[in-house]
Structure 1
Amino acid sequence: MHAQSIKNSQTLSIRSKLSQAYQAHAYRFAVISRFFAAIVGGYTFTAVFTALLSIILPLKKSDAVLLSISLTILVYSCVFIWVFAVKSLPKIWITILLTTSGCALILSLLKGWL
């Protein structure tokens, strides 16, 4: 009976250690995924949004480009902060992918690429 309880306690100890290791790796993956979403996803969204904004603004072409490039810093910073403010990781990726795709579609329709 005593040997059985020692075996059970060792099994529980191993399971708890595995659970803690899994949780640590899951947390690290979530943080790395957020950084990747903020850096790469934010950059891609900002680039497409800036190109779209420079076409949509009702200014001279040079003024529209300068203004949209100036707003790039603000947009990228907001996306970076937003990625770490939202709790749901899938929501972050879906939102970035959908908004970037939507802006790219509108941009391609306005430029006559489609």
Structure 2
Amino acid sequence: MAVTITENASKELKRFLEDGGNGEASVLRIGILSGGCSGFEYDFRFVQEAEIDADNDTISEQHGVKIVVDKKSNLYLDGTTVDFYESLEKRGFTFENPNAVKSCGCGSSFSV
């Protein structure tokens, strides 16, 4: 799998699912979109299983969370680790992408 989620990130994702903050969606889609201040931005959202395209998506389960990544995004996210960070100053998911040449200050966009 091109993308790995840490156990810490999976705990937060499962908590979100249990709290019902995603409606009926149950699969985490991780991908990229054109845009952001650095050229690409991360697409990180829950989707319905019916939205998975078996011909175009790679599906895995990590730490009890189903993850889907499309083929195009796999090219840019290969080796990426998603973690969850929590401190007094900030809280949220982080992306450690070895393919990113530069990232913006907020960490949600990158260029390759």
TM-score range, shorter chain: under 0.3
Q: TM-score, normalised by structure 1?
A: 0.25
More helix by share: 1
Please tell me whether Structure 1 or Structure 2 has the larger radius of gyration of its CA atoms.
1
More strand by share: 2
